[in-house]
């Protein structure tokens, strides 16, 4: 069972994900494709469901809240956490290792043989990498900092949950990218 503080953290993350990708709540994002927005919401829900399993596994124990959490404060925290996560991802995406990862992804896509708009493809791959890093920073880094048993993620069930997380995170980032591309 999750503590009240862990549940609040999940809610903050639910809203913070939208701020990471769009800089505003999803309902304020114009998109030509409502089905893509529905997919985004479904994937986000599945990702947070896996995140909840991870928080249970690592014995998530954030600091106890001394006061009630208002909606206004929850959204303010979500914006601040998203801003911090985006800033941290900007720093990491500029590293040599991140550049090599992006190059490897680009080569794999180009090898598929389809006709691509290379500058657009490069921009999308950089954006996706930055999004993945920001989501990991928001969800995983904070969770691990506030947990008591992080080694539980190293066992068999932990690896399965982690793999599920990565698949859903990547799908969420791709879907967010589709929404942003349709917004142009």
Query: Confidence band (pLDDT; 50, 70, 90) for 183?
Result: low
Across all residues in the chain, what is the average pLDDT?
Answer: 90
**Which pLDDT band holds residue 66 (cuts at 50, 70, 90)?**
confident
What confidence score (pLDDT) does residue 49 get? 96
Q: Specify whether the CB–CB gap between 131 and 23 falls below 8 A.
A: no
| φ, ψ for residue 147, nearest 5 deg | -115, 160
The closest alpha carbon to 109, from 130, 124, 99, belongs to 124
Task: Give me the number of domains the chain comprises.
Answer: 1
Whole-prediction pTM value?
Answer: 0.89
Q: Is the pLDDT of residue 67 over 80?
A: no
Mean pLDDT over 159-168 rounds to 96
pLDDT in tens, 109-160: 888 877 777 888 888 888 999 999 999 999 999 899 988 888 888 999 999 9
Domain that holds residue 140: 4-183
Task: Give the pLDDT of residue 184.
Answer: 53
pLDDT cut 70: percent of the chain above it: 99
pLDDT of residue 76: 94
């Amino acid at each position: 069972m999750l503590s009240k503080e862990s549940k609040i953290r999940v809610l903050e993350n639910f809203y913070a994900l939208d701020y990471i990708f769009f800089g505003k709540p999803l309902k304020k994002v114009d998109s030509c494709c409502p089905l893509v927005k529905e997919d985004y919401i479904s994937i986000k829900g599945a990702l947070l469901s896996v995140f909840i399993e991870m928080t249970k596994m690592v014995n998530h124990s954030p600091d106890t809240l001394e006061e009630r959490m208002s909606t206004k404060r929850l959204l303010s925290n979500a914006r601040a956490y998203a801003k911090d996560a985006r800033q941290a991802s900007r720093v990491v995406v500029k590293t040599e290792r991140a550049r090599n990862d992006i190059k490897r992804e680009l080569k794999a896509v180009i090898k598929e043989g389809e006709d691509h708009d290379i500058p657009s493809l490069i921009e999308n791959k950089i954006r996706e990498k930055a999004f993945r890093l920001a989501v990991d920073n928001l969800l995983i880094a904070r969770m691990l900092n506030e947990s008591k048993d992080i080694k539980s993620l190293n066992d068999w069930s932990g690896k399965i949950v982690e793999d599920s997380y990565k698949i859903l995170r990547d799908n969420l980032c791709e879907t967010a990218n589709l929404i942003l591309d349709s917004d142009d």
